[in-house]
Chains A and B, each alone.
Chain A
Amino acid sequence: MNASSSRVDARSDARLSSGLGMRQKQVLWAWSFLAVPVLFYAVVRFYPTLEAFWIATTNWNLLTKPSFIGLANFKRLMADPVFWQVFRNTALYLLLGTPISLLLAFTIAYHLDRVRFLHGFIRALYFLPFLTTAAAMAWVWRWFYQPVPIGLFNNLLAGIGIAQQPFLRSTTQSLPAVLAPAIWAGLGFQVVIFMAGLRAIPTTYYEAARIDGVSNGTILRRITLPLLKPTIVFLVVFSSIGFLRIFDQVYNMTSQTSSDPGGPLNATKPLVLMIYQTAFSSFDMGYAAAQTVVLFLVLLVVSLLQLRLLKDR
């Protein structure tokens, strides 16, 4: 909304000289084109978002009429140990997932950028997981993690004489085990974006640096990384939101057959999955809406913080 109105302002400013009638016409045109998306967003996005704030203060369970209960849902949330566990998990997904995936993606992109041999093919290989359905991928990884005799990883471990690992059946190993395919899946996209960023840096800077005899490390630190900042900002914000909203991988790797989504003992449950379960298996819409409000606030704060920290020079 902000963006659209400022665009209109900018345009109308430019046309100020051509008379009021013209300007009005312009505005009218602009709005008639904007009306459809604005209306769509208002009905499909903004209205439900606002409605969620209202539902969060009710005890609506789908079947009975909602009645206002004030902040009781939020109080219940604060006292719910599962919520804090889930909150911790979500933070872990973010704090582990974003740096690891960005570091990996940058390293790969940085080196891939120098590779000429089969460049396109290798890039395609990295991008392939990004095209795969999250559910299918999660299922394959789920089988990788199974115990002997069907699990790939455990068969390998047993083959070299190391004890089996529980992976998804452990309260400590399961979260990293779920995170691994999530990082792997997003890697291709990040690599491609990083490479585009690297290509956008004018080669003249590098040529100048080389002539001055600057080392590779210094080039990386003084030229590449600073000029890559917009790309990094975009990827940090983008992947952070992704990890804060992680759902498919967790749901598919921990539910279905063992019917314990986010388990064992909530060790892998992210906030989005808790919201989903509260809303669509317990039909506790009020409580779920309260959780949604919390997620909204977390996303807002994290995104604003990142934009602030990373944009300032």
Chain B
Amino acid sequence: MRGLRGMLLGLMVSVGAVAGAKAQTVEIEYWQYVFDARVKAMTELIKRFEAANPNIKVKQTTFPYADYQTKIAAAMPAGQGPDVVQLFYGWLDNFVGAKFIQPLPRDAFPPAAIEKEFYPIVSAMKRDGEYYALPTAVRSLALFYNKKLFQEAGLNPNTPPKTVDELLDFAKKTTKRDGAGNMLSAGITLDFPGQDYHWWRETLLRQNGGAPYSDDNKKVTYDSEAGAKSLNWYADLQRTHKVGQVGFMDEGQAAFRAGRAAMTIDGSFRLGAFGGIKAFEWGVAELPASADGKKANFASYWVNAITTKPTGPKLEAAKKFLAFVTTPEAMQLWLETVGELPARKEAAETEKNLNHPVYGPFLKALNYAHATVFVDELAQRQVSLDMINRVLLQNQDAKAALAEAAKAEQGILDRFYKK
């Protein structure tokens, strides 16, 4: 529906532009970071947008990821920044606080329509009733498994584990060791700095009845019974069951790619890398549910927002451009070029996509996924890493490790919200 409306709007605008006797051409600037597939997809979208809106020119500027935030921070106060900008969803508070971006105009982006048409994780872009940004695509987690290793262990390569108990059982059956007990092939990769820290926080913890943060995201709440239970379960994969080992083959995805891990948990963004595997067949499954059937997942995404810079005709052009890059058409293109999932339910959950053996499990997860609200993603990740390292390297008790991590992370949150 919305797509049709968007296209009609585009059509009307273009007709209007032609009729408007060479209305002045407006140029707006779009910024994103360098990632080949994303730049390619955006270049194509801009081409289509300009074809539909001949009086608007979009100039795309890209920066290396490492400099991206710094460039924006330097350019915006000088009035040099972009009109439409791409940012990681976790940076929103910083950008709103610095007055870099403005609320999405309600006429073009009514909140009620956003809530109806987009996946619920997009609500992380809402502050005081106003939406500030919209994603084109989202990412979620799934279980990748090596069909060849499943077969060798006498498991059916077409029935991946459905529950965490099954996961453990399958992992035990697929782990291989040499005579001295050194691991040769892991049942499941243990890679906390990879995606496991999201798996623990947003999946295992919630499946045990816990929650990582309070509803307003200002309080750390994982220092709990559920926290200890889930962290122990995870750590026991190495401590007790020895079905995985942190650092085995350097990193989880390398172990899986080399055919030395039967299972790994990773994001949809890994599809490109795993696509090159020739030595064995692999499958994708939804993250295993808890024993009582509870499902949870982690989603993250990049969003586009309108900065505080454009006014008048430039603002109108920016609105049109943002509307265009969030149409179902744009999302499908993004899925096919970048491999990221459409952020609109209607665009994502087509028969074809849902039944897709690879996209399907990721898409289903979007309905029950949580997008963690980070205030300083790297610092918060470090807290989690230190926690698991204390448990696995220094044999710290899970409860004590959680208490220490919660205190450290609360400090980060407090410093942020105090400002």
Contact = CB atoms under 8 A, between A and B. Distances in A.
A281 B379 contact: yes
A62 B66 CA distance: 14
Contacts of A283: 69, 73
Interface of A: 59, 61-64, 142-143, 146-150, 158, 161, 164, 166, 168-171, 257-260, 263-266, 277, 280-283
A258 to B, nearest CB: 5
A256 to B, nearest CB: 9
A148 B390 CA distance: 23
Contacts of B249: 146, 150
B378 A277 contact: yes
Interface in B97-123: 97-98, 100
A147 B184 CA distance: 10
Contacts of A148: 178, 182-184
A143 B250 contact: yes
A147 B393 contact: no
A64 B93 CA distance: 12
Interface string B170-209: 0000000010101110000000011000000000000000
Interface stretch (B14-22, B31-39, B240-248, B271-279): B240-248
24 contacts: A59-B419, A62-B70, A62-B73, A63-B73, A63-B100, A143-B250, A146-B247, A147-B248, A148-B178, A149-B260, A166-B247, A169-B393, A170-B393, A171-B393, A257-B250, A257-B254, A259-B193, A259-B194, A259-B381, A260-B385, A263-B385, A266-B386, A281-B378, A282-B379
Given A147-B245, A263-B386, A264-B389, 18 more contacts: A62-B73, A64-B419, A147-B183, A147-B248, A149-B260, A150-B250, A164-B182, A169-B246, A169-B393, A170-B393, A257-B250, A257-B254, A259-B194, A280-B70, A281-B379, A282-B376, A282-B378, A282-B379
B242 to A, nearest CB: 13
A158 B180 contact: yes
B393 A264 contact: yes
Nearest to B72: A63
Given A150-B250, A169-B393, A265-B386, A260 B97 contact: no
Q: 6 tightest CB-CB pairs across the interface, nearest first?
A: A63-B98, A259-B193, A257-B251, A281-B378, A62-B73, A148-B182
Interface of B: 66, 69-70, 73, 94-95, 97-98, 100, 178, 180, 182-184, 193-194, 245-251, 254, 260, 376, 378-379, 381-382, 385-386, 389-390, 393-394, 419
Nearest to B387: A265
A260 B183 contact: no
A151 to B, nearest CB: 9
Main SS class of interface, A: loop
Nearest to B385: A260
A170 B247 CA distance: 11
B246 A265 contact: no
Contacts of A260: 193, 382, 385, 389
A260 B69 CA distance: 21
A266 B387 CA distance: 12
A149 B254 CA distance: 13
Nearest to B178: A148
B378 A146 contact: no
Nearest to B254: A257
Most chain A beta carbons < 10 A, residue from B193, B393, B419: B393
Contacts of A150: 249-250
- Of A171, A277, A281, most B-chain CB atoms within 10 Å: A281
A281 B97 CA distance: 18
Contacts of B97: 63-64
B266 to A, nearest CB: 13
Nearest to A154: B182
Contacts of A170: 393
A149 B94 contact: no
Contacts of A62: 69-70, 73
A62 B251 CA distance: 33
Contacts of A59: 419
A158 B179 CA distance: 11
Contacts of B178: 148
Given A260-B385, A264-B389, A280 B246 contact: no
Nearest to B180: A158
A147 B382 contact: no
B193 to A, nearest CB: 4
Given A63-B94, A169-B393, A158 B378 contact: no
Contacts of A64: 97-98, 419
Contacts of B193: 257-260
Contacts of A171: 389, 393-394
Contact of A265 (B66, B182, B378, B389): B389
Contacts of A143: 250
Given A149-B184, A257-B254, A282-B379, A265 B390 contact: yes
Nearest to A258: B193
Contacts of B381: 259
